[in-house]
Amino acid sequence: MRNPFNVTKASEFSDEQINTYWVSMGDTNVLEPMDYTPRYILGGKGCGKTHLLRYYSYPLQKLRWGSFGNIVANDKYIGIYSVLSTLDASRFEGKNVSEGQWKALFKYYFELYIGSFLLKTLSEYIESENGVEKESCFVKMISELFLKRVELEKYNLKALVEFVEVERKNIDFEIENVAFTGSFNNVQINLKAGELIFNIPKIFCEVYNELKDMKFVYIMDEYEKLYDWQKRYVNSLVWEKQYPSTFWIGARKYGYTDMHTESGEELKKGSEYSPFFMDEYFQQNEKEFDTFARELIRKRLKRADPEAVTDLEAKFRSGKEDVVNTIMESKKGNYKHIKNLITEIKLAIKKGLVVDREQDIQTIVDNLKADTEDNPLLQKYKIYFFYQLWADKNHSTLIDYSVLVKEEFRKYKKGEETKYKNIVEKYKNDLIAQLCEENGESYFAYSGLADLIKLSWGNPRVLLLLLKKTIEKAEVFQEHPLDSGGQISLKAQYLGIKETAGWYLDNAELTGKRGSYANTAIKNLAEYFRLYRFSDKPTDTSVCAFNYGTENVSQNARDLIRMMELHSLLVKVDNERKQKNSGKAETTYQINRILAPNWNLPSSRRGVADFSNTVIESLFNFEHFSSFDSEYVALKNRMNAPFVKNEDQIQQKLF
């Protein structure tokens, strides 16, 4: 069976595929054609907005209902879909042409561009639904909209469409050659802004009275590809919308930055337009996304059998904790965590930070290995408890700590209440991750279809890529993942996930200096989070999110955090915690789950790190990036034996 997840972008689908693979978002009516309130459909790359918008477009309506008349009878609207990136916004600037000329030309070109889509769509009704009788009247009324009336040899829609297309091509020619001609002397603006967009629907419903209740929805995708001044023009059209027309605008979140019109008015959210953030909706409704994702997978498998997803899910191998036995068998007790422990104790003794002697080290190690049967994970539990006692510095010796650890572990093995219960429950995954890193093993932190759905975190394209990559790897390993009896091994899943995580980071569409700053920030943040997972004594468990108070944070840091949120590197999460001193609300961000495998970080939020303003500035204010190293070292010293804040403390202990 061919990999059904090969195509991951809706823009690469035919109309038939868009229709076939359509999955509704449960009971949520993201788009309601009967509502005239304009909608801005927003989200990160791969959130599904293009699939959604195309599904409501006329070509898809035609697939579902067969004829224009049936569409009007059942849907009561026509969706006029266009992709704004095809305008090539960058053409409308520079070349020694004034800004005013470019703006005027863009408006006229935009009118012809959208008008052409609309007229071609309406021609199908006129040609096939007994509309020919009134065609001449309709075309004449449209031709009168032009400032200089259009004279056509025949007043039919074909001739009008040809005129609009020729007019548009002439402008294309002028734009391409203006660098040589130096002016637009041959261009005449023959329409007022909005003239075709608003009046063609009105005239159509007037001439074809039987369609008087029909609604027109201008569906415009990739709004983020426009310049800000071009967006303000589109916003002006949204502001000035006229019955029976409205707008649905699709954009990446980072492109939704200015809701002002050309006149400076700002569109009012809720009354003049309504935004819908697709990925945020699914991130906040994970059960609904799980249902959505499984139906999406079933559609891709091209089976009506409801068990198709269950069959696929059964092929995913589990047993991510088996890596402990693998390490145990390969290392035969020669574990790096024991070597590290000995090195740290020797250093502490040498620098006078503890009163123990070198001859005590073997006793300490024996106490920490006792009753573990050389199981590295059990040893990790004991050593973590030992580090906790050491960091608390209650003036006991390290050998005393090791005796206490040994005694408490024996109680734990007997089923008695001890601190080990909390350590095992909270730190197991982090300690397994440490074992893998120390011993050069792949950490199969994520396995199974449910984990892939969680990892994609509301983003359908990420989910499809995860499935595509894991199945590809399984095929390379000759596991026959889509055949009866086939499987998808832990190794195939691991490699597929890592590749997808790398793709997501590399394709975050971060450009220029600000993009470079964001890349630096996300990598530094990840390294900072790694201290919480790979240190001797992390202060929190499974840390992949941070809190901070916003009142004293620089504008540079605020702007970069916001940019990283808009590009879906960071995800803002609900948090009801208050700052300890001021009582003010904190802001919480989590690193996007799909990025976590790049650094072997946890993807599920459990512990949340509290960042001071100095840490926030070192991470997100480019003017203070140079201070990150000192903040990193300070945290590293606090979390690793011998648990000193800085070198000065060592000097104080020595003298």
Predicted confidence band of residue 552 (pLDDT cuts 50, 70, 90): confident
Mean local confidence (pLDDT), 21-30? 83
Return the exposure string of 248-270: e unless at least 16 CB atoms fall within 10 Å of the residue's CB, then b: bbbbbbbbbeebebbeeeebeee
Q: Return the pLDDT at 650.
A: 42
| Contact indicator for 353, 397 with CB cutoff of 8 Å | no
Dump the DSSP string for 129-178: TT-GGGHHHHHHHHHTTSSSPPP-SS-SHHHHHHHHHHHHHHHHHHHHHH
Mean local confidence (pLDDT), 346-369? 94
Query: Residues in the chain, how many?
Result: 655
| Contact indicator for 607, 532 with CB cutoff of 8 Å | yes
Please check the confidence at residue 581 and state whether its pLDDT lies above 90. no
Please check the confidence at residue 232 and state whether its pLDDT lies above 50. yes
Main-chain phi, psi angles of 166, to 5 degrees: -65, -40
Q: Return the pLDDT at 510.
A: 84
In order of 604, 609, 620, the CA distances from 578 in angstroms are: 22, 14, 22
Please tell me whether residue 38 adopts helix, strand or coil conformation. Answer: coil
Mean local confidence (pLDDT), 280-285? 92
Mean local confidence (pLDDT), 546-575? 92
* SS3 track for 279-345: HHHHHHCHHHHHHHHHHHHHHHCCCCCCCHHHHHHHHECCCHHHHHHHHHHHHCCCCHHHHHHHHHH
State the alpha helices, DSSP H only, in 336-419: 336-350, 361-369, 376-392, 398-413
What one-character DSSP code corresponds to residue 396? -
Q: Where are the domains of the chain?
A: 36-284, 299-315+445-506, 321-439, 512-639
How does pLDDT run across 302-320, given as a tens digit for each residue?
Answer: 876 778 899 999 999 988 8
Q: Return the pLDDT at 539.
A: 82
**What tokens appear for 62 in the block?**
């035609």
Q: Return the pLDDT at 574.
A: 82
pTM higher than the cut 0.95: no
Mean local confidence (pLDDT), 368-384? 96
Please check the confidence at residue 649 and state whether its pLDDT lies above 60. no
**What tokens appear for 213 in the block?**
């209740």
| Contact indicator for 142, 203 with CB cutoff of 8 Å | yes
How far is Cα of residue 612 from the mean position of the Cα atoms in its chain? 26
Please check the confidence at residue 480 and state whether its pLDDT lies above 70. yes
Please check the confidence at residue 578 and state whether its pLDDT lies above 60. no
Sheet-wide strand order for 245-252: 77-83, 215-221, 245-252, 39-43, 274-277
Please check the confidence at residue 360 and state whether its pLDDT lies above 90. yes
Q: Return the pLDDT at 583.
A: 61
Distance CA 613, CA 590 (A): 17
Q: Return the pLDDT at 654.
A: 35
Predicted confidence band of residue 79 (pLDDT cuts 50, 70, 90): very high
| Contact indicator for 402, 364 with CB cutoff of 8 Å | yes
Distance CA 598, CA 34 (A): 45
Predicted confidence band of residue 129 (pLDDT cuts 50, 70, 90): low
Distance CA 609, CA 543 (A): 7
- Compute the mean pLDDT over every residue in the chain, rounded to the nearest whole number: 91
Distance CA 250, CA 237 (A): 15
Distance CA 301, CA 227 (A): 40
Q: Return the pLDDT at 394.
A: 77
Distance CA 509, CA 175 (A): 28
Predicted confidence band of residue 579 (pLDDT cuts 50, 70, 90): low
Please check the confidence at residue 29 and state whether its pLDDT lies above 80. no
Q: Return the pLDDT at 249.
A: 97
Q: What angle do CA 24, 27, 31 make, to 5 degrees?
A: 65
Q: Return the pLDDT at 652.
A: 40
Least confidently predicted of 123-132, 199-208, 285-294, 607-616: 123-132
Give me the percent of the chain exceeding a pLDDT of 90.
78
Amino acid, single-letter form, for residue 417: E
Count CB atoms within 10 A of the CB of residue 105.
20
